[in-house]
Amino acid sequence: MLIWYNSHSSLCSCVYFRPVHPTKKDTLWKGILEDFFRQFLSFFFEEAEVLFDMKRPFEFLDKEIAHAGMDNAVRHPVFVDMLVKVYKHHTDDFVLFHIEVQGSRSSFFSLRMFRYFIRLFNKYQKQIGSHVIFTDKSKLVHPASYSYNFFGTVLTFRYDSYAIAAQSETVLNRDKNPLAFIFLTVLLAHKKNKIADVDLLRQKIVLGEKLFRENWTDSQKFRLLYFLKNYIHFDNNNLNCKFNEAIQFIAGKKTTNMGMIEVITQHAEDQANIKTALNMIKKGFKISIIHEVTGVPLKDVKWLQTKYKKSVLSGRPMNLYLFGADEPLN
Block means of pLDDT (10 residues each) for the chain, 330 residues, are 33 39 73 94 94 93 70 50 93 95 87 94 96 94 94 96 96 97 98 95 95 90 91 91 86 51 43 81 91 85 85 68 42
Do 165 and 187 touch, CB atoms closer than 8 A? Answer: yes
* pLDDT computed for residue 325 by the predictor: 37
CA pair distance 274, 268, nearest whole angstrom: 10
Do 280 and 293 touch, CB atoms closer than 8 A? Answer: yes
CA pair distance 43, 103, nearest whole angstrom: 21
What lies within 8 Å, CB to CB, of 64 at 6+ separation is 83, 120, 123
CA pair distance 64, 70, nearest whole angstrom: 10
Residue 329, Cβ density class (10 Å: 0-12 exposed, 13-18 middle, ≥19 buried): buried
* pLDDT computed for residue 94 by the predictor: 97
DSSP bridge pairs for 146: 157
CA pair distance 85, 310, nearest whole angstrom: 14
* pLDDT computed for residue 15 by the predictor: 35
* pLDDT computed for residue 1 by the predictor: 26
CA distances from 296 to 252, 300, 307 (A): 24, 7, 15
* pLDDT computed for residue 185 by the predictor: 98
pTM to 2 decimals? 0.72
* pLDDT computed for residue 270 by the predictor: 62
Could you give the maximum distance between any two Cα atoms of the chain, in Å? 72
* pLDDT computed for residue 14 by the predictor: 39
